[in-house]
Amino acid sequence: MPPTGFSVRSVSNPPVSLQEHQSKSQASFDAGKQEATQFYQGEIKQLQDQFAAKQNDLLDQVNQRAEEVLAMLNANLPNLVMEIVQKILPSIELSASDIEGIVRSLIKEFSDEEEKLEVFLCPEDLKLLKALGKGSKEEEANEASTSDSEDGFASAIAGIFDNLDGEDSVLPDLPRVKFHEDNSLVSGDCQIKSKFGLLDGRIATKIRKVKEELTENG
């Protein structure tokens, strides 16, 4: 006899215990968390790499620009310094002591203390130096006794021939040195002639030497 019908009591999965359900839920959560962590860590790493690359590019550009600026400064600095010096020097007034210091510093370059030297200064500087020497002479004259009339007459006669071939009494402690005026020189210039040649102590020469040194070192 064929069946006349059937009934279905249940179509769901077998019942799951609460503990098993919680365990599966935790496992799914942990898996999702790990996947999300890996994803965002990858994104962060990618952003870090991009930022580092841009930072390196920026630093390279800054370094390149800094080198260009330094090269430009090194090229222009000597001329700039010389322009400033040439503008400032003419406004500086030298005293008699300054002139004496310049002369003595150049004279020291000659090793032979007995060598006769001829010093050339501009008229203004020589005048200042004479005034300085004259003051020293007057002090010595006040301390010394006066000579007799015959000696005075001889000195007067000798004085007629003074300064015809340079002045050798501007700096009394340097009797081997004669001084001359040179209208081609400016204040602060000094040239010394010896048997070996001419020592050029002109300001223009000093400036040129400094400029050459700055250019070579740059």
Domain with residue 104: its CATH number is 3.30.2320
Domain that holds residue 69: 20-92
What per-residue confidence (pLDDT) applies to 137?
A: 54
Is 6 domain-assigned?
no
The angle formed by the CA atoms of residues 75, 76 and 78, to the nearest 5 degrees, is 95
Judge contact between 189 and 202, C-beta under 8 A.
yes
- Do 40 and 87 fall within a single domain? yes
What per-residue confidence (pLDDT) applies to 161?
A: 38
Judge contact between 78 and 218, C-beta under 8 A.
yes
Instruction: Say how many domains are in the chain.
Output: 2
Please list the ranges in the chain whose pLDDT falls under 50.
145-150, 152-164
What per-residue confidence (pLDDT) applies to 163?
A: 44
What per-residue confidence (pLDDT) applies to 73?
A: 79
What per-residue confidence (pLDDT) applies to 167?
A: 63
Is 15 domain-assigned?
no
What per-residue confidence (pLDDT) applies to 6?
A: 60
What per-residue confidence (pLDDT) applies to 217?
A: 66
- Do 119 and 207 fall within a single domain? yes
- Do 84 and 175 fall within a single domain? no
- Do 209 and 106 fall within a single domain? yes
Judge contact between 179 and 126, C-beta under 8 A.
yes
What per-residue confidence (pLDDT) applies to 208?
A: 83
| 8-state DSSP, 208 | H
Residue 164 CA to residue 167 CA, distance in Å, equals 8
- pTM, full prediction: 0.53
Residue 6 — φ and ψ, nearest 5°? -150, 165
Residue 152 CA to residue 90 CA, distance in Å, equals 44
What per-residue confidence (pLDDT) applies to 204?
A: 85
- What are the CA-CA distances from residue 188 to residues 61, 94, 123, 128, 194 (Å)? 48, 7, 11, 12, 20
